């Protein structure tokens, strides 16, 4: 009996959309509830694929090392952690962005090198920045600063972003609740995923620049592509036909 293709998909917010796409493409036949349990491997007899449900950050690793033939991974993870995988499709699901944000009442007097003149008057720093001009002013003053502390789980993306701007930053790696950092004085700036922006608004944080738009991508193990090119390309084609269906 021919072995089924192994597809790694992430737990969390993208799971439902990924299952829907695989269902439309003919790889699975069951409802979401049948894949929503403590089980980590689903191999229903009437499905045309074996599903591995893994943590989002682990999907590229499973695919790179051949534990899965194909996977669904966020572009943020692929940018942060280079993996030797083939990336044929933008699936258009899990849309969000990686962005730089600060507290609306950030005090530039506490940041070495900040140019208060950029803001017109130094006391403007204490006002809530709610319009485009003030956002631009804060961004300009921030990027004239020295050794900014930035909280993020995206260490490599953050380093590359500020390095290209010629800005020296001190990165504090966190694993969750990134928005808490500027509220507690841990850091002046955060770099994090932003979807609707509601979490930023509720915590009086201001998005000052987008780093990258993020969607989920289809990734393929390179050995699987070489040993079974016809089947892999057929899978890619079927999924591609249903991305916007």
Tokens of 80: 């942060």
Backbone angles phi, psi at 144, to 5 degrees: -95, 0
Burial class (CB in 10 A: 0-12, 13-18, 19+), 3: exposed
Do residue 65 and residue 157 come from a single domain? no
Do residue 104 and residue 89 come from a single domain? no
Do residue 161 and residue 193 come from a single domain? yes
Do residue 106 and residue 154 come from a single domain? yes
Residue with tokens 């969000």: 96
Q: How far apart are CA 243 and CA 245, in angstroms?
A: 6
CATH value at residue 48: 3.40.190.10
Do residue 133 and residue 75 come from a single domain? no
Do residue 74 and residue 112 come from a single domain? no
The number of folded domains in the chain is: 2
Do residue 64 and residue 105 come from a single domain? no
Residues of the domain holding 231: 5-94+215-242
Do residue 31 and residue 129 come from a single domain? no
For residue 127, what pLDDT is reported? 42
Do residue 171 and residue 237 come from a single domain? no
Do residue 160 and residue 180 come from a single domain? yes
pTM of the entire predicted model: 0.85
Q: Is the dihedral of CA 56, 61, 62, 63 positive or negative?
A: positive
Do residue 202 and residue 103 come from a single domain? yes
Q: What tens-digit pLDDT sequence spans the chain (245 residues)?
A: 578 999 999 999 999 999 999 999 999 988 877 787 788 999 988 889 999 999 999 999 999 999 999 999 999 999 999 999 999 999 999 999 999 999 887 766 555 444 444 444 444 444 444 455 667 777 877 777 777 899 999 999 999 999 999 888 999 999 999 999 999 999 989 999 999 999 999 999 999 999 999 999 999 999 999 999 999 999 999 999 999 75
Do residue 65 and residue 165 come from a single domain? no
């Amino acid at each position: 009996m021919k072995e089924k293709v192994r597809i790694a998909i992430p737990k969390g917010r993208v799971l439902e959309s990924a299952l829907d796409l695989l269902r439309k493409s003919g790889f699975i036949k069951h409802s979401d509830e049948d894949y929503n349990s403590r089980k980590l491997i689903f191999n229903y007899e009437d499905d045309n694929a074996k599903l591995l449900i893994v943590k989002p950050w682990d999907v590229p690793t499973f695919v790179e090392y051949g534990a899965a033939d194909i996977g669904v991974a966020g572009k943020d993870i692929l940018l942060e952690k280079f993996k030797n995988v083939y990336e044929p499709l933008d699936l258009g699901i899990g849309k969000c962005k990686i962005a730089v944000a600060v507290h609306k009442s950030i005090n530039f007097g506490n940041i070495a090198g900040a140019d208060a003149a950029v803001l017109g008057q130094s006391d403007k720093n204490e006002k809530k920045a709610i319009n485009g001009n003030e956002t631009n002013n804060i961004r300009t003053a921030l990027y004239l600063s020295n050794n900014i502390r930035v909280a993020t789980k995206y260490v490599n993306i953050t380093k590359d972003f500020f390095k290209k701007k010629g800005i020296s930053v001190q990165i504090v790696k966190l694993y969750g609740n990134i928005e808490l950092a500027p509220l507690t004085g841990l850091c002046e700036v955060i770099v994090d995923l932003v979807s609707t922006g509601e979490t930023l608004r509720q915590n009086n944080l201001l998005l000052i620049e987008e780093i990258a738009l993020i969607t989920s991508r289809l990734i393929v193990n390179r050995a699987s592509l070489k040993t079974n090119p016809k089947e892999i390309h057929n899978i890619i084609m079927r999924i591609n036909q249903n991305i916007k269906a």
